[in-house]
């Protein structure tokens, strides 16, 4: 090809003439036909590149069995802290000031520093399910949530999320429950359940295989459940374990077909660090939505434990229910999540 470069450097041939000469078969001189070769070579090269490229792209996108690529889903961490022999296992505090009750109960349980270490990331899960006011007792009391945020912040957490998947319109639930404002003022990051906030995780339950849950539950080092005590038509009651429904996006209404096992599957997956049960006001009827103040009973009680079955059993007694009559308590006990015999735990009761 080196001799083909010479005419360009030396004699300038007009472009039009070049083309004319090139068209004549064998009629042109050697230089022009060389130019023609190069162009042909270029075209062959482009065509070959397109052919190779499209075959490679197709093979790259091909799925082996026609079912798409398989993916490994993340599993949740174990959020619990080690048990200390002889330590208080459950604290029940009664008193007119909900925030003070939270402080005293957590103190009785060894202080928040036992559960949250400096620099850890913590998610706090109240019930923000319903478009209701605090006094209607359909959601966790905002003062309780704010106090938990403050205690976690004082323990040195580097990040505090407060989140829930509301059943009613999220922005209205977060606003009217008073929790968004109270939690923000106490220093938490409030995560609304918008579409990008969900991650698919491996549940490994008896009933549930995978679930879409809010990202803080995947990312956090510690998880604190802050449920409220309410009557519930299908499951009998909704308290600590049932509160984990609120991690879920997607079609969670299907879980009701076997509510007790799905409650236990979720509670087994999450393994929370601590549960702070709000029984400041409890909902005795028309739960879990409530709506009328006639359904609400003032109890001024906070109960704290890392045993959710025990807490649910205690909560059931507040609602006047026999704990072992509730399927999820029985199933939770069978799954090794805790004991409904909360009186057998080392319990500290204060006030009232």
Partner 1 sequence: MFLWLRRSYQAVFLIFFLFLVFASTSRFIRGYDVQWFLEIDPLVALTTALSSHTLHHALVWSLPLIVLTLVFGRFFCSWMCPMGVLHHLLGHLGRKRKVLQRVEQNSPRTSHNIKYAVLAVMVGLAAAGSVQIGLLDPIASTWRGLSVSVLPAASNTASGLYQGERHFQWGTLITIVFFGALALNFVYPRFYCRVLCPLGAFLGLLSKFSLFRISKDISRCNDCDVCGADCQGAADPMGTVRATECMVCLNCTKGCKRGGIAYRFLPALKLSKVETDLSRRKWLAAGLVGVASVPLARASDGVDPRPNPARIRPPGALDEPDFLGKCLKCGACMKVCPTGGLQPALAEAGLEGFWSPILIPRIGYCEHSCTLCGQVCPTGAITHLKVADKVGEMPAKPPVRLGSAFFDKGRCLPWGYNTECIVCEEVCPTSPKAIYFKVETITARDGTQKTLKFPYIDLDHCTGCGTCENRCPVVDRAGVRVSAANESRSPKSSVSLTGGKI
- What are the residues binding partner 1 (CB under 8 A)? 130-132, 167-172, 176, 194-196, 232-234, 251, 253-254, 256-259, 285-286, 288-292, 294-295
Shortest separation between residue 263's beta carbon and partner 1, angstroms: 13
Shortest separation between residue 75's beta carbon and partner 1, angstroms: 25
Shortest separation between residue 282's beta carbon and partner 1, angstroms: 15
Cα(245)–Cα(241) distance, integer angstroms: 8
Distances (CA, A) of 79 to 176, 200, 264, 267, 279: 30, 18, 16, 12, 24
For 62-176, where are the alpha helices, taking DSSP H only? Answer: 98-108, 142-154, 170-176
Kindly tell me which of 104 and 176 has the beta carbon lying closer to partner 1: 176
Distances (CA, A) of 175 to 41, 119, 183, 194, 277: 69, 29, 11, 15, 21
Kindly tell me which of 205 and 288 has the beta carbon lying closer to partner 1: 288
Pairing of β 90-94 and β 347-351: parallel
Kindly tell me which of 101 and 131 has the beta carbon lying closer to partner 1: 131
Kindly tell me which of 285 and 350 has the beta carbon lying closer to partner 1: 285
Q: What is the DSSP string of 133-157?
A: -GGGTSS--HHHHHHHHHHHHHTT-
Cα(205)–Cα(67) distance, integer angstroms: 24
Kindly tell me which of 79 and 132 has the beta carbon lying closer to partner 1: 132
Shortest separation between residue 288's beta carbon and partner 1, angstroms: 6
Cα(179)–Cα(163) distance, integer angstroms: 10
Shortest separation between residue 244's beta carbon and partner 1, angstroms: 16
Shortest separation between residue 287's beta carbon and partner 1, angstroms: 8
Kindly tell me which of 9 and 253 has the beta carbon lying closer to partner 1: 253
């Amino acid at each position: 090809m080196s001799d083909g470069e010479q005419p360009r450097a030396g004699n300038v041939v007009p472009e039009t003439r070049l083309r004319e000469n090139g068209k004549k078969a064998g009629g042109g001189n050697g230089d022009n036909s060389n130019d023609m070769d190069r162009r042909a070579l270029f075209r062959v090269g482009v065509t070959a590149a397109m052919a190779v490229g499209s075959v490679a792209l197709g093979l790259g996108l091909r799925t082996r069995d026609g079912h798409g690529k398989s993916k490994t889903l993340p599993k949740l961490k174990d959020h619990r802290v080690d048990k200390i022999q002889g330590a208080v296992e459950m604290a029940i505090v009664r008193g007119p000031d909900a925030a003070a009750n939270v402080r005293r109960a957590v103190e009785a349980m060894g202080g928040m520093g036992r559960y949250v270490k400096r620099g850890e990331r913590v998610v706090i899960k109240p019930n923000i399910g319903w478009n209701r006011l605090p006094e209607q007792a359909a959601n966790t009391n905002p003062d309780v949530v704010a106090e938990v945020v403050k205690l976690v912040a004082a323990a040195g957490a580097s990040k505090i999320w407060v989140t829930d998947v509301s059943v009613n319109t999220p922005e209205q639930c977060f606003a009217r429950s008073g929790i968004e404002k109270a939690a923000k003022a106490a220093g938490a990051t409030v995560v609304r359940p918008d579409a990008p906030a969900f991650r698919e995780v491996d549940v490994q339950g008896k009933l549930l295989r995978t679930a879409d849950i809010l990202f803080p539950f995947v990312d956090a080092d510690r998880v604190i459940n802050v449920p409220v005590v309410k009557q519930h038509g299908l499951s009998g009651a909704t308290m600590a374990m049932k509160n984990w429904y609120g991690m879920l996006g997607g079609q969670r209404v299907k879980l009701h077909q076997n509510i007790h096992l799905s409650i236990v599957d979720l509670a087994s997956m999450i393994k929370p660090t601590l549960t702070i049960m709000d029984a400041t006001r409890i909902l005795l009827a028309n739960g879990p939505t409530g709506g009328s103040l006639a359904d609400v009973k003032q109890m001024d009680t906070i109960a704290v434990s890392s045993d959710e079955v025990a807490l649910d059993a205690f909560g059931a007694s507040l609602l006047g229910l026999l704990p072992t009559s509730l399927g999820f308590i029985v199933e939770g006990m069978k799954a090794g999540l805790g004991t409904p015999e909360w009186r057998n735990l080392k319990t500290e009761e204060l006030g009232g």
